[in-house]
Protein backbone atom coordinates (compact mmCIF):
# COMPACT_ATOMS: atom_id res chain seq x y z
CA UNK A 1 0.00 0.00 0.00
CA UNK A 2 1.33 3.40 -0.91
CA UNK A 3 2.26 5.69 1.95
CA UNK A 4 -0.17 8.42 0.84
CA UNK A 5 -3.07 5.95 0.71
CA UNK A 6 -2.20 4.65 4.18
CA UNK A 7 -1.96 8.19 5.58
CA UNK A 8 -5.29 9.05 3.91
CA UNK A 9 -6.95 5.98 5.43
CA UNK A 10 -5.59 6.84 8.87
CA UNK A 11 -6.84 10.43 8.48
CA UNK A 12 -10.33 9.25 7.52
CA UNK A 13 -10.40 6.81 10.43
CA UNK A 14 -9.33 9.49 12.92
CA UNK A 15 -11.84 12.03 11.55
CA UNK A 16 -14.70 9.56 11.76
CA UNK A 17 -13.80 8.64 15.35
CA UNK A 18 -13.46 12.27 16.41
CA UNK A 19 -16.68 13.53 14.84
CA UNK A 20 -18.71 10.29 15.12
CA UNK A 21 -19.15 9.95 11.37
CA UNK A 22 -19.60 6.73 9.49
CA UNK A 23 -18.70 5.95 5.93
CA UNK A 24 -20.94 3.46 4.11
CA UNK A 25 -19.40 0.55 2.26
CA UNK A 26 -20.86 -2.34 0.32
CA UNK A 27 -20.37 -6.02 1.11
CA UNK A 28 -16.95 -5.99 -0.53
CA UNK A 29 -15.55 -3.97 2.37
CA UNK A 30 -14.93 -5.06 5.95
CA UNK A 31 -17.11 -3.61 8.69
CA UNK A 32 -14.86 -1.16 10.56
CA UNK A 33 -15.50 1.25 13.44
CA UNK A 34 -15.86 4.07 10.89
CA UNK A 35 -17.12 2.01 7.90
CA UNK A 36 -20.62 0.56 8.15
CA UNK A 37 -21.43 -2.32 5.80
CA UNK A 38 -24.76 -4.09 5.29
CA UNK A 39 -25.61 -7.29 7.13
CA UNK A 40 -24.71 -10.21 4.82
CA UNK A 41 -27.81 -12.21 5.80
CA UNK A 42 -30.07 -9.80 7.70
CA UNK A 43 -32.63 -11.09 10.16
CA UNK A 44 -36.16 -9.67 9.80
CA UNK A 45 -36.64 -6.43 11.69
CA UNK A 46 -33.92 -3.91 12.52
CA UNK A 47 -31.19 -5.56 10.44
CA UNK A 48 -33.42 -5.55 7.35
CA UNK A 49 -34.43 -1.94 8.04
CA UNK A 50 -30.73 -1.08 8.41
CA UNK A 51 -29.87 -2.67 5.05
CA UNK A 52 -32.70 -1.03 3.06
CA UNK A 53 -31.55 2.63 3.21
CA UNK A 54 -27.97 1.41 2.92
CA UNK A 55 -28.87 -0.27 -0.37
CA UNK A 56 -30.79 2.77 -1.64
CA UNK A 57 -27.85 5.08 -0.95
CA UNK A 58 -25.48 2.68 -2.71
CA UNK A 59 -27.76 2.62 -5.76
CA UNK A 60 -27.79 6.43 -5.91
CA UNK A 61 -24.00 6.58 -5.62
CA UNK A 62 -23.59 4.04 -8.44
CA UNK A 63 -26.08 5.97 -10.59
CA UNK A 64 -24.14 9.19 -9.96
CA UNK A 65 -20.86 7.52 -10.90
CA UNK A 66 -22.52 6.18 -14.07
CA UNK A 67 -23.77 9.65 -15.00
CA UNK A 68 -20.31 11.16 -14.50
CA UNK A 69 -18.63 8.38 -16.51
CA UNK A 70 -21.10 8.77 -19.37
CA UNK A 71 -20.67 12.56 -19.36
CA UNK A 72 -16.87 12.47 -19.01
CA UNK A 73 -15.33 9.58 -20.92
CA UNK A 74 -11.94 10.43 -19.41
CA UNK A 75 -13.17 8.97 -16.11
CA UNK A 76 -13.32 5.48 -17.59
CA UNK A 77 -10.20 3.57 -16.61
CA UNK A 78 -8.16 6.39 -15.11
CA UNK A 79 -4.50 5.38 -14.96
CA UNK A 80 -3.10 8.11 -12.76
CA UNK A 81 -2.04 8.47 -9.14
CA UNK A 82 -4.83 8.59 -6.53
CA UNK A 83 -4.07 12.27 -5.89
CA UNK A 84 -4.33 13.13 -9.59
CA UNK A 85 -7.49 11.01 -9.92
CA UNK A 86 -9.10 13.02 -7.11
CA UNK A 87 -8.26 16.28 -8.90
CA UNK A 88 -9.74 14.98 -12.17
CA UNK A 89 -12.90 13.70 -10.47
CA UNK A 90 -13.44 16.97 -8.60
CA UNK A 91 -13.02 18.94 -11.85
CA UNK A 92 -15.57 16.69 -13.59
CA UNK A 93 -18.06 17.07 -10.72
CA UNK A 94 -17.68 20.87 -10.82
CA UNK A 95 -18.24 20.90 -14.59
CA UNK A 96 -21.23 18.57 -14.18
CA UNK A 97 -22.75 20.90 -11.55
CA UNK A 98 -22.21 23.95 -13.78
CA UNK A 99 -23.92 22.14 -16.67
CA UNK A 100 -26.80 21.17 -14.37
CA UNK A 101 -27.24 24.75 -13.12
CA UNK A 102 -27.25 26.00 -16.72
CA UNK A 103 -29.90 23.43 -17.65
CA UNK A 104 -27.71 21.57 -20.13
CA UNK A 105 -28.73 17.99 -20.83
CA UNK A 106 -26.63 15.02 -19.78
CA UNK A 107 -26.06 11.82 -21.73
CA UNK A 108 -27.99 8.77 -20.49
CA UNK A 109 -26.44 6.73 -17.68
CA UNK A 110 -24.60 3.62 -18.84
CA UNK A 111 -24.32 0.83 -16.28
CA UNK A 112 -20.94 -0.88 -16.25
CA UNK A 113 -20.66 -2.75 -13.00
CA UNK A 114 -21.88 -6.31 -12.64
CA UNK A 115 -24.02 -7.62 -9.81
CA UNK A 116 -22.77 -7.41 -6.28
CA UNK A 117 -22.69 -11.22 -6.01
CA UNK A 118 -19.30 -11.17 -7.72
CA UNK A 119 -17.73 -9.29 -4.83
CA UNK A 120 -16.06 -11.32 -2.13
CA UNK A 121 -17.72 -10.79 1.22
CA UNK A 122 -15.12 -9.90 3.80
CA UNK A 123 -16.13 -10.88 7.32
CA UNK A 124 -15.20 -8.36 10.02
CA UNK A 125 -14.29 -9.24 13.58
CA UNK A 126 -16.83 -9.53 16.37
CA UNK A 127 -16.25 -6.03 17.84
CA UNK A 128 -16.90 -4.35 14.51
CA UNK A 129 -20.12 -6.31 14.01
CA UNK A 130 -21.22 -5.35 17.53
CA UNK A 131 -20.70 -1.67 16.70
CA UNK A 132 -22.88 -2.08 13.60
CA UNK A 133 -25.47 -3.85 15.77
CA UNK A 134 -25.45 -0.91 18.19
CA UNK A 135 -25.99 1.58 15.33
CA UNK A 136 -28.79 -0.62 14.01
CA UNK A 137 -30.46 -0.86 17.43
CA UNK A 138 -30.17 2.88 18.09
CA UNK A 139 -31.57 3.99 14.73
CA UNK A 140 -33.64 1.18 13.18
CA UNK A 141 -35.83 -0.25 15.99
The SS3 of residue 96 is helix
β 23-24/35-36 pair status = parallel
Could you tell me what percent of the chain has a pLDDT over 90? 13
Which of the four pLDDT bands, split at 50, 70 and 90, describes residue 38?
very high
Q: How far apart are CA 24 and CA 52, in angstroms?
A: 13
Distant-in-sequence, close-in-space partners of 93: CB < 8 Å, separation ≥ 6: 68
**Is the Cα dihedral 123, 129, 132, 137 positive or negative?**
positive
Q: Between 138 and 123, where is the model more confident?
A: 138
Looking at the predicted structure, is the pLDDT value of residue 61 above 50?
A: yes
pTM beyond 0.85: no
Sign of CA dihedral 11, 13, 18, 20: positive
pLDDT at 6 over 60: no
Bridge partners (DSSP) listed for residue 32: 35
Query: Can you tell me the distance from the alpha carbon of 78 to that of 91, in angstroms, rounded to the nearest whole number?
Result: 14
Amino acid sequence: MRETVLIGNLFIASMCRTVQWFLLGDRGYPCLPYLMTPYPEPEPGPQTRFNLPHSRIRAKVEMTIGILKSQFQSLRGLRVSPERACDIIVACVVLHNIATIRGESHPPCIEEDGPEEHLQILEANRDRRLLRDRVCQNHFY
